[in-house]
Every structure is written in C-alpha cells, then in structure tokens.
Amino acid sequence: MRAFGAVLLSVPVTLFGLVLVTFLIGRVMPIDPIIAILGDHAREDVVAKLRLELGLDRSLPVQFVLYLGRLLHGDLGNSVMTSHSVVADIGQFFPATLELATVAIIIGVVVGVPLGVLAAVRQGSRTDHAIRVFCLAGHSIPVFVLGLLSLLVFYAKLGWAPGTGRIDVAFEGMVPSVTGFLTVDALLAQDWDSFWSAVGHLMQPAGVLGYFSVAYIARMTRAFMLDALGEEYVTTARAKGLSPLRVIWRHAFPNILVRLITVLALSYAGLLEGAVVTETVFSWPGLGQYLTVSLLNADMNAVLGATLVIGMSYMGLNLLADLAYRLMDPRVL
C-alpha cells in the first residue's frame, strides 16, 4: 500500500512539472503573443497597454503564478484564431480525437494481440517471420506517408473511401451532438445516412493509426508470450495432456495480461499524441488539427491549452495503467 500511495502522491508533482514545462515552452518560443493578437502594424501604445493587461510585462515567476491561478479556475485564455475560449474549443475538438484514437486502439487489440500470440506459438516459422516483417513495416513507415498512400490508393485510385474530413458536407450539422463521437451520436439519432458517412470517413485515419498500434501491440504480445511459454507451469500443463489452445489461452495468456494492459494504455496514449499528424493529413477536425493550425497562426493560448490536454491525457492513462498493474498483481504493491 505504501507504493500505491507513492503513485498517487506523484500525480500533483508530475502535473506541476507538466504545467511548468508547458508554460516555459510558451515563453521561449520566438512568437510574441501580443503581435499575434493585434497584428504587425499595431501602435506601440496599444501594444504596451495590452502587454500590461495580460501581465506579460512582469517577471517569469510572477507570470507563472498568474498562469497557475487561471488554470485553477479553468481558464486557458481565448483563442486568437476562433475568438472563443480555449476550453470551449478543446471541448469541441477533443471528442473527435478520442473517437479516432478509440477506434484505432480497438483495431490494435483485436488484430495485434492474436497476431502476437500466433507469432510466439509459431516462433521461427514463416508465419512468425511474416508477422514480424508486417510489424516492422508498421514501425518504420512514417504515419503521414502511410496516410498519403492510403488517400492515393483507396480514395484517388480505387474510389473506395470518401476522402478527407469527418463526414460528407451534405450531412454536416444534421446530427445533434450528445457524446461528441459522431458515429455514436448518429446511432442515437437513428440517422443511418449520417452514420455510414461518418463510418466511411473514420475508417482511413483509424486504419492508419490502427496499423501503427497493431505493430506495437503485436511485437509486445509476442515477447510476453515467448517468456510465458518457456515457464515451468506451461511445460507442466502440456505434460498433463491439455490441448494446445487450452495451454495458450487458459495458462500462458492470463499471465501476460497484467503487462499487456500497461502496453495497451500507453499505446492508447500514444495514439492521442500521434493523431496530430494523422488529423492533418486527413483534415480530421480533432485536437491535433486544431493544435497544428493554431501553431501556424501563432495562437499560443490554443497551442499551450492543446499541449496541456494531450500531456494530461498521457499522464492520466499512464497512471491508470500503473494502478491497474498494481491491483491485478498484488506482488508489486
């Protein structure tokens, strides 16, 4: 329990470090937020007045304290690009990223785990080598290259995919937002045309991210299973005459589940982070595209807010994985 409490106590320390790093990034970048707001031709007296109002004329420690105070009140500032509060923008764009990453991790689990188990069971065979090459390609090919190739083949050449965006233009605004997941909201509204349009647009970016996830999960599952299959309890189970499927799924696999959950949580967090490039390629209106466009427009409040949310998501999933690991394996408590 002492180690369990230490994990919980590390949360505020890690969160403080994340906020501090995010704040410093915003201050060291060669972008003047005042110029971004007022433009290059603003009068000097107007620039000085706004700098005073925003507290940017004060020392860095004072600015950081003011920044912490606004964060504690849920204030991330206003976006220059949208003229809305950054919190409202994140609430609008983040569900699209969650939907994309969630479908991708489902693909990763459903495909990656069986592939990893099969590769371990057939170690050294052609099947094992083929799966390892497949996974190596998933790690080697950059996400943006795979995304562009996917658009070229399935959209431009074959015409199987609907193209970029989250839904066809004809269906935009027709589905009431309830969960923020467009496919789920379309199901709730029983709008089947919008649902299938949303599914069609989701498959390409989710497939690209899912392939990256499959490659990682399959490699880790294979490594864990090879360790488990070499243990004495597996040898004993085989000596008792149990079927190979029973040995694999009832004896070996449950013993790697704890470590695998940690891998899945970190993979999901990585998908939230990696969606930045994928969303840009597929014009997916999620937090990644919002972050990219904000950076190009020197919208530092939006950039820092989105970066902070992604960092907190990664930290939260890492914490949940650590807690799940300790709860499922009492030996590490």
* Per-residue model confidence as pLDDT tens digits over 223-282: 999 988 888 878 887 888 778 888 888 888 888 888 888 888 888 888 887 677 888 888
Provide the sign of the torsion angle of the four alpha carbons 93, 94, 96, 101, taken in this order: positive
Average pLDDT over the chain, rounded to an integer:
82
Q: In sequence order, which ranges of the chain are alpha helices (DSSP H)?
A: 2-28, 33-38, 44-53, 60-72, 86-121, 126-140, 143-150, 182-188, 192-229, 232-239, 244-246, 257-282, 287-296, 300-328
Q: What local confidence, expressed as pLDDT, does residue 170 receive?
A: 80
What number of other Cβ atoms are within 10 A of residue 169's Cβ?
8
Longest dimension (CA), the chain: 86
pTM: 0.83
What pLDDT, in 10s, does the model give residues 278-314?
888 888 888 888 888 887 777 778 888 888 888 888 8
CA proximity to 198, closest of 159, 177, 172, 179: 172
DSSP at 132? H
Q: What local confidence, expressed as pLDDT, does residue 114 receive?
A: 93
CB environment 205-234: b (16+ within 10 A), e (fewer): bbbbbbbbbbbbbbbbbbbbbbebbeeeeb
Q: Give ∠ CA 16-18-23 in degrees, rounded to 5.
A: 95
| Tokens of residue 192, six digits | 């089947």
Report the CATH number of the 86-332 domain: 1.10.3720.10
Low-confidence ranges of the chain (pLDDT < 50): none
The type of residue at 122 is R
Listed by start position, the domains of the chain span 15-72, 86-332
